Amino acid sequence: MEKFLKIVTDVNGAVNNFVWGPIMLVLLVGTGVFLTFRTGWIQVRWFGYIMKNTVGSLFSKSGKKDHGSNLSPFQAVTTALAGTVGTGNIAGVTGAIFAGGPGAVFWMWLSAFFGMCTKYSEIALAMKFRNTDANGVHKGGPMYYIENGLGKGWKWLAVIFAILGGLASFGIGNIAQSSEIAGALNGLFGIPTLAGGIVLTVVVAVVVIGGVQRIGQVTSLLVPFMAIFYIIAGILVIILRITEIPAAFAAIFSSAFSLEAVGGGIFGYAIMRAMQNGFARGVFSNEAGLGSAPIAHAASSTEEPCEQAIWGVFEVFIDTIVICTITSLAVILSGVLDAGSVDAFGTKGAAAVAAFNAILPGTLGGTIIQISLIFFALSTILSWSYYGERCWGYISGDNRIFVTVYKVIFVLFCIVGATGSGQLMWDISDTLNGAMAIPNLVALLALSGVVAKITKDYFQRKK
């Protein structure tokens, strides 16, 4: 077994070095930069409008209407946010700072700034090129806008995305999340990881069997609660160390452009390491360019593509600029980086617990982190079950038996994640993230003219 795990680790390491290497980073960030120019910097020029018509519209009556077999606009965004706001916001960010230094936070912010436009474009295309079946159910995502937007000759690329997305649903969407949930349940209540995995399996099965509508109903309740809970706790942490905030930001910016190596090395190595960790964890967290969130948004009952797409800007903003920044500041302010490595704490999640415990009285901080990890990871599992369902549904031509088998396997993988090797699962998830982004980014670049046109038409009407 050890020999097999070593082979898997070595192969995954080689692939990971490619998908998160210089070419991938240029494609990832460069696509966001390119789309930002093509759409007229909407995340800057129309930021006020976007916030007003996303978070500002949450209490409108439209959320209470009957949307048939599809999701309401709010359910669609909470389903997408459920998949976006996950353990990457806590454990992933903590690991990025340990690996790349405080400077990784700056590059995370930069990737998020351009990622706002990337996710906006993904959702706009998913809405425009989605399919509607005989029952009126909307189905969309990168595989659909690749095939319907680029033409049947590109279906091979759509299939590649669907395969990678379907596999990623077991990685980023399940085993990496269930591993953190099992650890949190063990830390909070002393529940053995196997028992925690079984409980998680039952909970996930109950929701997943109900289909996308039940997922939307659960996430529309779960996401607002868990986000507000964590943000309030994070604000408390920041207030308690408010005098040290300037020094924390100074560390972020100085480390981002430091020419010294982390632990010794070649000239400029620290910058490259901070960039790679910042970009990688930024994408792992907000999923801009990954192609996953558009699958949920495509199920919205909204007819106007850009009206749903502006939620993508809000998603990246709340996920990375708000939630990830809270985690980052807690880690930097707490002094846990003095330990030098995550290994000193055992896991990334444990390092985050230590950071909050160092600032809040007693074990309050650790309790908050572990509760947040449970909710963040659970919501991610629920959303990714639907992403995987749509990917495998696309490949199988929506064969019910095939999709049902997928759901059963996905649910059982909660036990695998709860009892397996956490680090290897994180590494595999990271690789699958980068791999599935490639066909999606190629499609975004090829269809950028479509995005530019519908964006111009939409915002001209809004003037």
Interval 103-122: pLDDT, tens? 999 999 999 999 999 999 99
Q: Which of 53-67, 111-125, 343-357 has the highest mean pLDDT?
A: 111-125
pLDDT of residue 417: 84
pLDDT of residue 160: 95
Would you tell me the crossing angle of helices 211-240 and 325-334 to the nearest 10 degrees? 40
- Rounded CA-CA distance 382/448 in Å is 31
Query: Based on the number of CB atoms within 10 Å of its own CB, is 229 exposed (0-12), middle (13-18) or buried (19 or more)?
Result: middle
Amino acid at 228: I
As a CATH number, domain 15-53+71-462 is 1.20.1740
φ/ψ (deg, to 5) at 98? -65, -40
Q: How confident is the model at residue 251 (pLDDT cuts 50, 70, 90)?
A: very high
Cα dihedral sign for 260, 263, 264, 270? negative
The total number of residues shown for the chain amounts to: 463
Q: Is the pLDDT of residue 191 over 80?
A: yes
Q: How confident is the model at residue 445 (pLDDT cuts 50, 70, 90)?
A: very high
pLDDT tens digits, one per residue of 285-334: 788 888 999 999 999 888 899 999 999 999 999 999 999 999 999 999 99
Q: What average pLDDT score do residues 426-436 get?
A: 77
Q: Are 373 and 196 in contact (CB under 8 A)?
A: no
Strand-strand pairing, 131-132 and 138-139 = antiparallel
Which one, of 126, 36, 119, lies nearest residue 318 by Cα? Answer: 119
3-state secondary structure of 303: coil
3-state secondary structure of 144: helix
Each residue of 158-192: b (16+ CB within 10 Å) or e? bbbbbbbbbbbbbbbbbbbbbbbbbbbbbbeeebe
- Rounded CA-CA distance 82/297 in Å is 12
